[in-house]
């Protein structure tokens, strides 16, 4: 996973560079621009290998980014699960002071699928990408990875699965064992499958706008952010153009 971690660390570098430029505005579009180079690398130049046998090839990922604290320049992502803004609601069910930050590069398994996290506790922001669309290519017993990787260059077949919750069965085919989890080995492999210029920006799936007053998000009596019926405007989805997906 070291190569993937190197890619994700570029986001923080890009973020610092952007925020230090007084001529640049720090907003949702800027966040997307900082992550775009990472997304291109992730989608075009690599894949997950599970237990040395199953290739998890990504077709679309979605960025989730939330800054803790308050202030006029703070960027919030109300739909994000693992934030301290959700704490008033979560404490109805469990005793939590503040959510700890995920270890950089760890997986966050939640009700919408699996995120790969790249948070920064020193700068107090949460960040992750959701695996939105993917496909699985199996390596046979007598095949080498080199004999299978060429299939990644065909973006039409096999088709990609756009249902993010399906990935639990594919990423963890043997389940998750308590203790020393030797039954699951997930690696990041580098492989150049497509042109980085072939990545387009999209809206995140099933994400609505939330009621806010100049960035100050409103909550109900339980502390929940108030969702509207309007589709969100952020282009925080990143997708390989032209891939074929199952319906």
- CA–chain centroid gap for 186, Å, is 16
Nearest by Cα to 230 from 211, 217, 214, 213? 211
Domain residue spans of the chain: 2-200+235-240
pLDDT tens for each residue of 30-69: 999 999 999 999 999 999 999 999 999 999 999 999 999 8
**Mean pLDDT over residues 220-225, rounded?**
78
CA-wise closest residue to 236 among 22, 12, 27: 27
Question: Is this prediction's pTM over 0.75?
Answer: yes
Q: If you average pLDDT over every residue of the chain, what do you get?
A: 91
Which of 1-10, 114-123, 169-178 bottoms out in mean pLDDT, i.e. has the lowest? 169-178
| Helix, strand, coil percent values for the chain (each to nearest 5) | 25, 30, 45
- What is the model's pLDDT at position 87? 66
- Closest C-alpha among 130, 133, 137, 43 to residue 81: 130
Q: Which residue has the higher pLDDT, 90 or 180?
A: 180
How buried is 130 (Cβ within 10 angstroms: 0-12 exposed, 13-18 middle, 19+ buried)? Answer: buried
- 200 contacts: CB under 8 Å, gap ≥ 6: 238, 239, 240, 241
pLDDT of 112 > 60? The answer is yes
Residue 90 in this model has a pLDDT that exceeds 60: no
Buried b (16+ CB within 10 A) or exposed e, 38-48: bbbbbbbbbbb
* Consecutive H or E run containing 214: none
Query: pLDDT at residue 169 above 80?
Result: yes
CA distance linking residue 216 with residue 75, whole number of Å: 10
Q: Please state, as a whole number, how many other Cβ atoms lie within 10 Å of the Cβ of residue 243.
A: 20
**DSSP 8-state assignment for residue 132:** E
**Bridge partners for 199 per DSSP:** 240
How is residue 160 annotated by DSSP? B
Q: Is the pLDDT of residue 177 over 90?
A: no
DSSP state of 99: P
Three-state secondary structure call for residue 240: strand
**Does the pLDDT at position 89 exceed 70?**
no
Average pLDDT over residues 181-202: 91
What pLDDT band is residue 102 in, cutting at 50, 70 and 90? Answer: very high
């Amino acid at each position: 996973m070291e190569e993937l971690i190197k890619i994700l660390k570029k986001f923080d570098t890009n973020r610092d560079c952007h925020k230090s430029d007084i001529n640049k505005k720090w907003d949702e579009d800027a966040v997307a621009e900082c992550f775009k180079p990472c997304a291109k690398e992730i989608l075009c130049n690599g894949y997950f290998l599970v237990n040395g046998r199953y290739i998890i090839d990504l077709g679309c990922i979605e960025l989730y980014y939330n800054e803790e604290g308050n202030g006029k320049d703070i960027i919030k992502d109300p739909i994000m699960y693992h934030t301290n803004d959700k704490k008033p609601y979560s404490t109805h069910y469990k005793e939590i002071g503040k959510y700890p930050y995920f270890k950089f590069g760890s997986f966050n398994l939640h009700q919408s699928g699996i995120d790969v996290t790249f948070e920064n506790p020193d700068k107090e922001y949460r960040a992750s990408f959701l695996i939105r669309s993917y496909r699985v290519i199996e390596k046979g017993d007598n095949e080498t990875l080199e004999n299978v990787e060429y299939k990644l260059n065909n973006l039409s077949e096999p088709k990609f699965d756009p249902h993010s919750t399906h990935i639990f069965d594919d990423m963890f085919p043997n389940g998750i064992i308590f203790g020393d989890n030797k039954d699951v080995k997930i690696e990041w492999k580098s492989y150049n499958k497509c042109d980085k210029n072939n990545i387009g920006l999209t809206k995140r799936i099933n994400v609505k706008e939330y009621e806010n007053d100049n960035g100050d998000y409103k909550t109900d009596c339980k502390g929940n952010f108030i969702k509207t019926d309007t589709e969100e405007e952020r282009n925080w989805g990143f997708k390989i153009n032209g891939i074929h997906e199952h319906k």
